[in-house]
Amino acid sequence: MIRSFRGRKLYRGGRNEAQSSLKPSPACLREKRCSLTGQIRRSSWTTQSMLAEAWARRRYPVASVSQLTDALAEATETQSWRDEA
């Protein structure tokens, strides 16, 4: 039974392709690390702000749930980027 996105063949295949696309030189590894750090930072900040927006919309259940769903998707993106770090 698959319990997360990490168990999907498509995700694993995409991750393998992404890893093989970088040449293993020190310059590339530094560039990859900086790029991943920036992406993790952006997606985690977005998650935080979406949770704040969901709280602000708590009186409107449909809007609040929609914002929470988007925050969960953004948090999952952060997890995906952290897999690469």
User: pLDDT at position 34, please?
Assistant: 80
Nearest CA to 44 out of 64, 65, 71 is that of 71
pTM above 0.75, yes or no: no
**CA angle, corner 51, sides to 80 and 72, nearest 5?**
30
Dig out the tokens for 64 from the structure.
Answer: 């609040």
Residue-level length of the chain? 85
Per cent of the chain over pLDDT 70 is 79
Task: Read off the pLDDT band of 79 (50, 70, 90).
Answer: confident
Q: Average pLDDT of 44-51? A: 89
The one-letter amino acid code at 1 reads M
Report residue 43 as tokens. 């997606």
Structure confidence by residue, pLDDT tens digits, 26-42: 666 777 778 888 888 88
